[in-house]
Amino acid sequence: MNKTYSLLIVFFIIFIIIDNINAQVGINILYPDTSAVLHLESTDRGFLPPRLTTAQRDNIFQPKAGLMIYNTQDSTMQYFNGDCWLHTYQKDCDECFFDVVPSATAGTIDRVLTDSIQLTIDVTQTNGAPQYIAFAIVSMLPNGVTYNIDPNPQFSTGTVTITFYATPFAADGTFPIVIQALCGGEVQNIIYSLTLTPCYEVTVLNTTQEYDLSTQLYAENPTLNSSIPVCVVSYVSSGVTVSSTDVTIPAYDVGNLHPNSVLAIVNEGNIIGKGGDGGIAYDPAQGWDGSGQDGGTAINLTTDATILNNFNIYGGGGGGSAMAFSISYNVGGPLPFTLAFLIGGGGGGGAGGGLGGDLPVVIGIVYYTPGGDATYGQFGVPGQGGQLNTPINFNVGPATITLNPYVIGGDGGDYGYPGTQGVFGLTLDVIVNINIPFVGTISIPVVQGINIPIPVPPPAAGQGGFAVKRNGNSCNIPDNLYNNSNLRGQVGN
C-alpha cells in the first residue's frame, strides 16, 4: 500500500468520526430537522413512550431530570423535574390539583314536605402538599333562596355538604346554579339545577273584618283537600285594613290549614286587633267586676309562618279598669229594674275601637262618669278613664253629709299595651247645723276628712292584645313585646 493510499484511508476515517459526532437520526424522513437529534415522521402511527403504573414509575432507580413516561393510572404524560413527577401541564411540585364528584346535578324543593335540599361533593386532592379547597356559589340565587356550605374550605380530601333553603317567598321555577371550587390556580365548576315548586297565592284586596285565610283559600281552590299540607303565600294589599268587632275573634286568622302547611304572610296594609272595652263598675249583683277587657289579637297562627310586615300589625289595646263601686238590688215584678247607690268612673277603651265603661240604665243614687271610647285605625288612640271630683252633699235632718270624691277611671291602653288602673279617693265630712234663736244657725263639724276605703281590691286593667299569637307554632319574628311604628303588641304564645 503506497503512502498516498494510506493517507486517504486515514482522512476517510476522520471524516466518518466527525460526521458521527454531528449525526442526526431520522425515521421515515431523509433529512431530519437540524434542531432535532431524533426526528420521526408518520401519517398512520404515533410515538409510544414507556407505559407505567404509578407504582412502577416510583420504582425507577434514580430517575434523571427530564425522564418521561405515560402514567396508565392517570392517563397522562408525566416527566421528572429532578424533585417530583409532574403532569405536563403542571408548573411545580406544590401546584394543587383535585377532583370533585357531586352526588347529584339536580334537586327539587317542594316547600311543603321540606324547605331545603342537600348536595354532597366528594373532594380528592390529587397533587401538591395537602391544602385548603374553597367553595363558592357564583351565580345569582332567586330571592328567598339561601345556602350553607359545610365545611368551607375543605382541607385536602373529604366531603362537602351544600344545603339550599327556600322560603315561600321565592319564585317557583328551575334555576341553574354554578358551584365553584378553587385551590391555588386550579378552578372547577359544577352546574346544579334547582327546582322550586309553586305555592298557592291568596290576596286580601279589600278592607274586611275577621278574615279567615283557610276559608278564602279553599273557596278559591275548591279541589284542594284540607287534609293535605300546602304552601301558601298570603298578601294583604296596600290600603287594606283587616280588623275585628270582637276581642275574642282575631282580625286575621290562619284558620283550618293543615298544621304541616308552609305559610308566608306579606302585609302591605293594616292588620289591627279590636281594643278592649273599659271596665264598668264593681257590682256583683250585675255581674260586673270592674276589670278592663283584654285587647284582641291581630294575627292568629295555626301553622308555622314567615311574616314579612311592610306596614302595620297592631294588637288591640287593653281596656282601663273602672274605679266605680256600687251597691244595688234587682227589683223583680212585671217591670224589673235595679236600685243602686253607685259612685266612681268607668275605664277608658283600648286603642282599636274599645268602648269606654258606661252604665246601663239604673234607678237610684248614681254619681258616675263614663270612660271615653278609643278611636280606631292606623292612628287610633285609647280612651281616658272617667273622672269624678265634685263634692256630693246630702241633708239628713240637721246634718249635712258631704262626700268628696277624687276618682279617675283607668285609661285604655295603646295598641298592644295594657290599660291602666285608676285612682279612687273618697273622704267624708259631716256637719251638724243647729238653729239657735236670736243667734242663728251654727255649723258644728262632727266629722272631717275621714277616708272611706275601697270595699274590694282594685279591679284589674285589661291586657294588651297579641300582634301575632303563635299558639305553639314557629314564626320568624322573635317573641317580645313590640312598640314600634309598624309592630305593636306581644308576639308569642
What confidence score (pLDDT) does residue 146 get? 95
The 10 Å CB-count burial string (b at 16+, else e) for 236-273 is beeebbbbbeebebbbbbbbebbeebbbbbbbbbbbbb
**Whole-number pLDDT of residue 17:** 47
In degrees and rounded to multiples of 5, residue 3 shows phi and psi of: -60, -40
Name the residue ranges covered by the structural domains of the chain. Answer: 3-87, 97-196, 203-483
* pLDDT tens figures, 438-462: 666 777 777 788 888 887 889 999 9
Q: How far apart are CA 264 and CA 476, in angstroms?
A: 10
Cβ atoms of 263 and 167 closer than 8 Å = no
The CA distance from 407 to 344, in Å, is 6
C-alpha cell at 481: 313585646
pLDDT for the residue 18:
46
- pTM value > 0.85: no
Q: Which residues of the chain, if any, have pLDDT below 50?
A: 10, 14-18
**Cβ contacts of 374 within 8 Å, gap of 6 or more:** 275, 317, 348, 349, 350, 351, 352, 353, 354, 355, 356, 380, 381, 382, 383, 412
Output the pLDDT for position 338.
54
Architecture category of domain 97-196 in CATH: Sandwich (2.60)
The three three-digit cell numbers of residue 104, written as one number: 347529584
